[in-house]
Amino acid sequence: MGEGDRRSIDSTRDGTRERQRVLLLCAGIIVLFAATDRVTLGYFAWRPLVVRLLWALFIVATALNLRGAGRARTRELMLALAVFSTAFYAALAALTGGVSSPLFHWMLALPVAIAVVIQDHPAAIVGSGLTMLAGGLGILTAADTAPALCWQWAGTAAIMVMLAAYISGSYGRLHAREAALRRAGAEADTRARASEAGIAARDEFLAIAAHELRTPLTSLLLQIDAVERAVSLSPGGILGEVERQRIGSIARQAGRLSGLIDGMLDMSRLTAGRLELNFDRVDLAALAREVAQRFAPDAAAAACAMKIDLPEPLVGLWDEARLDQIATNLIANAVKYGAGGGIEIEGRGGADVVQLIVRDHGIGISAEDQERIFRRFERASGQRQHPGLGLGLWITSELCKALGGKISVSSAVGAGAAFTITLPRRSPAAIESQKPRLPDMEPSRA
């Protein structure tokens, strides 16, 4: 049984219990008002009391029968309740003075009262209306009332029945709308749970796949490294220039593959909150210079002139490997998306914070895309010519947060992009007090 079905059964049970409570209350009121019959008649009579007791018993029996009744059975019970209640009422009116009884004057309001108690059952109201017409006309005829007055009473009764049927229909529409809303809410909940389970399964699959791929790739990278070294040691050897270039290309592709797999591993660590940080004294300026140096061949291949403006040491307590990853991601993106233009790497140091800015003059990012690119697997639109998973900036943003900082972007389409990371220098005490944190699944744009 689905969650939605369970909820609908629960709400039906609640509705039945509520209806039973109202019916038992009505039965109590009917018995309590037995005292008014004595006042109306001026003496005690057994017959009205017996009618009231039978009526109350009938209501109690109906309330008990409602338990576990399906839709069709409930409809039948409500119809019987409306018809018999009207009949009992008419009998009471007849036994307490007929046309002159106060109960007879209130008889016209009976269908409306029944519509309020037995909501959304128009058939029951019509049944009660017909019984009321028969009972009322019977009382009027027994009192030798003029036919014109009888017609007038019947006309008023018909209007009251129509009003009651309208009230009952409105309740029905209202309840149907509420039920539809409840169903829609339950379906949305079920869908959200299914999609959460799907995301969890995807994350688990990515974590396992990345882990399994890492082991053979590490050995492959070592082999490629050994081959490259052997080739460089024998420049005049048996390998020609074309073969050397091919080995270089294999090394680059394997390096790219390794970067992608590392990204997947980082993603699974971050989503599982298993990121470990080793805080130490690091000079961000020296580190950024070193990373830029590493990218010099790629930048040259992409016709990017790199300008480094890191005049002073930018020292703080950070995790060096993670900081390297942040700088690597930003410079790699600048080379990838800023090909053919200049790249500037700047550093600024304040008393408590430092900033690293990586600026390129490439394709740029539209304002709408700037909202998304820091989320997992999100890429700016129209990026098919540049391969990528859309994970680098999410990881960078999460790492910045883990180091107590933030990342922001300033860009326009066709005008390049400048990514700025801002990190607190941090004191050892501040690091000590840092509690382990779970990263957000969808980081907000800094």
Residues of the shown chain interacting with ligand ADP in the complex, contacts defined by CB under 6 A: 329, 333-334, 337-338, 360, 362-365, 373, 379-380, 383, 388-394, 417
| Antiparallel, parallel or unpaired: β 343-349 and 306-309 | parallel
Measured from the CB of residue 406, what is the shortest distance to ligand ADP in angstroms?
16
**Which DSSP string do the residues of 2-30 spell out, in sequence order?**
-HHHHHHHHHHHHHHHHHHHHHHHHHHHH
The helix or strand, by DSSP H or E, that contains position 396, with its residue range, turns out to be helix 392-402
| CB closest to ligand ADP, residue no | 388
Contact status, residue 247 vs residue 231, Cβ threshold 8 Å: yes
By beta-carbon proximity to ligand ADP, the closer residue of 127 and 338 is 338
Contacts of 31 (CB under 8 A, 6+ apart): 52, 53, 56
By beta-carbon proximity to ligand ADP, the closer residue of 26 and 331 is 331
Measured from the CB of residue 206, what is the shortest distance to ligand ADP in angstroms?
15
Give the pair of three-digit tokens for residue 213.
């791929």
Q: What is the distance between the alpha carbons of residues 132 and 135, in angstroms, rounded to a whole number?
A: 5
By beta-carbon proximity to ligand ADP, the closer residue of 157 and 299 is 299
Q: What is the distance between the alpha carbons of residues 337 and 362, in angstroms, rounded to a whole number?
A: 6
Contact status, residue 314 vs residue 374, Cβ threshold 8 Å: no
| Longest CA pairwise span in the chain (Å) | 133
Measured from the CB of residue 321, what is the shortest distance to ligand ADP in angstroms?
18
Measured from the CB of residue 391, what is the shortest distance to ligand ADP in angstroms?
6
By beta-carbon proximity to ligand ADP, the closer residue of 168 and 328 is 328
**Coil, strand, or helix at residue 73?**
helix
Q: What is the distance between the alpha carbons of residues 67 and 318, in angstroms, rounded to a whole number?
A: 67
Measured from the CB of residue 411, what is the shortest distance to ligand ADP in angstroms?
7
Measured from the CB of residue 386, what is the shortest distance to ligand ADP in angstroms?
7
By beta-carbon proximity to ligand ADP, the closer residue of 20 and 383 is 383
Q: What is the distance between the alpha carbons of residues 23 and 18, in angstroms, rounded to a whole number?
A: 9
By beta-carbon proximity to ligand ADP, the closer residue of 318 and 394 is 394
By beta-carbon proximity to ligand ADP, the closer residue of 19 and 376 is 376
By beta-carbon proximity to ligand ADP, the closer residue of 106 and 377 is 377
Contact status, residue 409 vs residue 417, Cβ threshold 8 Å: yes
Contacts of 426 (CB under 8 A, 6+ apart): 279, 316, 317, 318, 403, 404
Q: What is the distance between the alpha carbons of residues 38 and 56, in angstroms, rounded to a whole number?
A: 18
Measured from the CB of residue 374, what is the shortest distance to ligand ADP in angstroms?
8
By beta-carbon proximity to ligand ADP, the closer residue of 86 and 333 is 333
Tell me the residue type at 1.
M
Tell me the backbone φ, ψ of residue 344, rounded to 5 degrees: -115, 135
Measured from the CB of residue 274, what is the shortest distance to ligand ADP in angstroms?
21
By beta-carbon proximity to ligand ADP, the closer residue of 304 and 417 is 417
Measured from the CB of residue 194, what is the shortest distance to ligand ADP in angstroms?
27
Tell me the backbone φ, ψ of residue 440, rounded to 5 degrees: -70, 150
Length of the chain: 446
Measured from the CB of residue 176, what is the shortest distance to ligand ADP in angstroms?
48
**Coil, strand, or helix at residue 310?**
coil
